[in-house]
Amino acid sequence: MYHAAAYFSEVSPTPFRQSLMADALKVYKALADATRLRLVRLLGRGGLSVNEIIEVLQMGQSRISRHLKILAEAGLVKSRREGTWSYYQADQESEDPLLAEVLALLQRHEQELPGAEADLQALEGVVERRKARTRRFFDSIRDPREFPQHQSLDGAFYRQAVLALLPQECGVTLDLGTGVGLLLPALQERATRVIAVDSSTAMLDLARQTAGLQGGRCEFRLGDLEHLPVADGEVDTAVACMVLHHLSDPSKALAEAHRALREGGELVIVDLHQHQDESLRQSMADLWLGFRPDEVKGWLRKLGFELAEARIVSGTDPLKLITFRGRKSWRRTPAAKPAKAKRTIR
C-alpha cells in the first residue's frame, strides 16, 4: 500500500500539468456564477452583440462586459469583430477537450439553469427583430430592375461565379434566398426543377416575374432559410448566392441545406469575403460584413460536407468573394458479416 505522502510526491505536477490545472480552475471559477451561466447558455445559441445581450438579460453594459471578459479569459466564449461591432459566442468548436466537454454538458442541462424560459424568449425576440429588419429591406423593393443598383458588387460577376461551380446537369435545384430571381433563368437551363425559397413575399412575387414563361419548372416557396420548407433529401443541388450575410445564423441555414440535399448532392456558396464597409448594414441590410474562409469551412466540415473547392475571388470591385463547392457525404453502411458456413451432418 502506498503511503499518502509518498504517493503525492511521485505524482507531483510538472509545469505542464500545473498549467492545465490552472486552466481548469479558471474554467470552473468562471462558471461559478449564475449570470455567467446564463451568458454561456445564450451564447451557445449563436453570436450576440453586447447591446443584444443587454437587451436579453436587462443588465448594465459594465456588468455584462466584466462577465464576458471572465468567460473569454477562461476560453469559454470567443469574440468576432464585425466592423465597429463585436459579437460573442460560446466556443463550442474548441479543440480543448475540457472546454468542449463542459460546454456540451451545459448545453444538455440548459433548461435547469436559472431564468431559462425568460432568457430564451427574450433571445427569440432579438433574433426575430434581426430577421424583420432584413425582410423590411427586401419588401421595399417593388421592381426587379431596381434590385441591381442596391448591390455592392456587379451582379453578373457573382452569378457567373456560381455557374462556374455548378455541374451542367443539376437535377432538382434549391435556390436559397432567391431574391428577385436573377439566377433562375440560368438555373432552369441546367435543372430538371428549381425550388426557389425566400422569406419575403415581395421577393417571391418579383422572382416569378423574372422566371417568366419558363417559370413552370420553378416552385416558389415562402420560408425561413433557417427552417427550410423542403423535405429531407428532396434536392440534388443547393445554391447559396450572396445570401448568408443577410442571415442571423448562417450555420443553421447550411445545416438546413445539408438536410434538404440527397446523399452525394452538391452545395455551392458564393458570398462576401470579410470586409469593413459598415455602410452595407444600412444600404443592404447586411447582418454580417462578409466571412473568413476558415469560418465557413468550419461550418461545412462540422455538418459533414466534403469540400471540393474553396477560393477567394477578386473582381473590379474592392470587395472580394469567397466561393465553396461541397458534397454531402454518403452514409457509411456497416460491412456485411460473412455468412457462416453451414455444418453438414453426415
For each of the chain's 346 residues, which pLDDT tens digit applies? 434 333 333 334 444 344 444 488 889 999 999 999 999 988 888 888 888 899 889 999 999 999 999 999 999 998 888 777 788 888 877 788 888 888 888 888 878 877 888 888 888 888 878 877 777 777 776 665 555 444 556 788 889 999 999 999 999 999 999 998 999 999 999 999 999 999 988 889 989 988 876 667 899 999 999 999 999 999 999 999 999 999 988 999 999 999 999 999 999 999 999 998 888 887 788 888 999 999 999 999 999 999 999 999 987 778 899 999 999 998 765 455 555 544 444 4
43/162 Cα distance (integer angstroms): 33
- CATH classification at residue 49: 1.10.10.10
What confidence score (pLDDT) does residue 36 get? 92
> Is residue 89 domain-shared with residue 148, that is, in the same domain?
no
- CATH classification at residue 241: 3.40.50.150
> Is residue 154 domain-shared with residue 84, that is, in the same domain?
no
Give kind and range of the element (H or E) at residue 209: helix 201-211
What confidence score (pLDDT) does residue 281 get? 83
> Is residue 150 domain-shared with residue 108, that is, in the same domain?
no
**Helix or strand or coil: residue 226?**
coil
Q: Is residue 38 part of a domain?
A: yes
What confidence score (pLDDT) does residue 80 get? 82
> Is residue 169 domain-shared with residue 295, that is, in the same domain?
yes
Where a domain ends, among 71, 94, 114?
114
> Is residue 169 domain-shared with residue 275, that is, in the same domain?
yes
> Is residue 206 domain-shared with residue 255, that is, in the same domain?
yes
Let me know: does 280 contact 85? Beta carbons within 8 Å. no
What confidence score (pLDDT) does residue 142 get? 65
311/316 Cα distance (integer angstroms): 17
Q: Is residue 149 part of a domain?
A: yes
Q: Is residue 127 part of a domain?
A: no
Residue-number span of the structural domain to which 8 is assigned: 4-114
Q: Is residue 138 part of a domain?
A: no
Amino acid identity for residue 211 in this structure:
A
177/196 Cα distance (integer angstroms): 7
Q: How many CB atoms lie within 10 A of CB 89?
A: 17
Please work out, in degrees rounded to the nearest 5, the angle formed at the alpha carbon of residue 279 by the alpha carbons of 278 and 282.
Answer: 110
> Is residue 162 domain-shared with residue 107, that is, in the same domain?
no
> Is residue 201 domain-shared with residue 106, that is, in the same domain?
no
* Backbone phi and psi for residue 316, each to the nearest 5 degrees, phi listed first: -80, -20
Per the listing, cell 424583420 goes with 132
What confidence score (pLDDT) does residue 19 get? 46
Q: Is residue 341 part of a domain?
A: no
Q: Is residue 337 part of a domain?
A: no
> Is residue 100 domain-shared with residue 11, that is, in the same domain?
yes
**Long-range contacts formed by 296-300: CB under 8 A, 24+ apart:** 296/244, 296/250, 296/269, 296/271, 296/322, 296/324, 297/324, 298/93, 299/250, 299/251, 299/254, 300/254, 300/267, 300/324, 300/326
Q: How many CB atoms lie within 10 A of CB 98?
A: 14
Where a domain ends, among 114, 130, 152?
114
190 CB-side CA count, 13 A: 20
Q: Is residue 289 part of a domain?
A: yes
> Is residue 154 domain-shared with residue 299, that is, in the same domain?
yes
What confidence score (pLDDT) does residue 192 get? 95
Domain count, the chain: 2
255/239 Cα distance (integer angstroms): 13
Q: Is residue 249 part of a domain?
A: yes
> Is residue 297 domain-shared with residue 214, that is, in the same domain?
yes
> Is residue 30 domain-shared with residue 100, that is, in the same domain?
yes
